[in-house]
Amino acid sequence: MSEDLRDAREVFDLFDFWDGRDGLVDAYKVGDFLRCTGLNPTEENIKKFGGTKNQGEKQLPYEECKAIWEQAKAIKDTMTHKDFREAFKSFDREGQGFISAAEMRHMLNAMGDRLTDSEIDDIIKYTDVREDLEGNIKYDTFIEKVMEGPPGV
């Protein structure tokens, strides 16, 4: 058994523990399960893999979670620092590496898997983004911090 698979089993066991130790994990938590194993599934993929919108709709045994994890692991994370930089660069009118904080919020709220205002607030908090006097942020620093993930994870 690979170390990654052992980690996935350990995460499943933790979720099972929180869900009542019945050998099942609520399908509502598929996205959280995958993220805890270091993967970054889209909401579309979570739904495709069998995740549900509401708690209690479906319960998954370890073997099903393992199969979902293997499917998610096989999907290549296509976004690189360079890809994110190019997206932000389109809003960088002066080519100095800065965009307005409002434009950054718009990008996070309107593109890809749309984030809620609360999720955007959390990202800004965890990345410790600081606006300059003109309300702009240095996007390379922001991208680096986002790609590192939340502290302590």
pLDDT, tens digit, 9 for 90 and up, residues 91-131: 888 899 999 988 888 888 877 667 888 988 888 888 888 88
* Residues 50 and 64: beta-carbon distance below 8 Å: yes
Task: With cut-offs at 50, 70 and 90, classify the pLDDT of residue 20.
Answer: confident
Q: Where are the alpha helices (DSSP H) in 22-136?
A: 30-36, 43-49, 62-74, 81-89, 101-110, 117-127
Which pLDDT value is given to residue 78?
A: 55
Which pLDDT value is given to residue 14?
A: 92
pLDDT digits (tens, 9 = 90+) for 29-87: 999 999 888 888 888 889 999 999 999 999 999 999 999 999 998 886 656 677 788 88
Work out the burial of residue 140: count CB atoms within 10 Å of its CB; fewer than 13 is exposed, 13-18 middle, 19 or more buried: middle
Which pLDDT value is given to residue 9?
A: 93
Which pLDDT value is given to residue 48?
A: 92
Domains of the chain by range and CATH? 3-74 (1.10.238.10), 81-147 (1.10.238.10)
**Confidence check: pLDDT of 3 > 80:** yes
Which pLDDT value is given to residue 26?
A: 93
Six token digits for residue 120: 């955007």
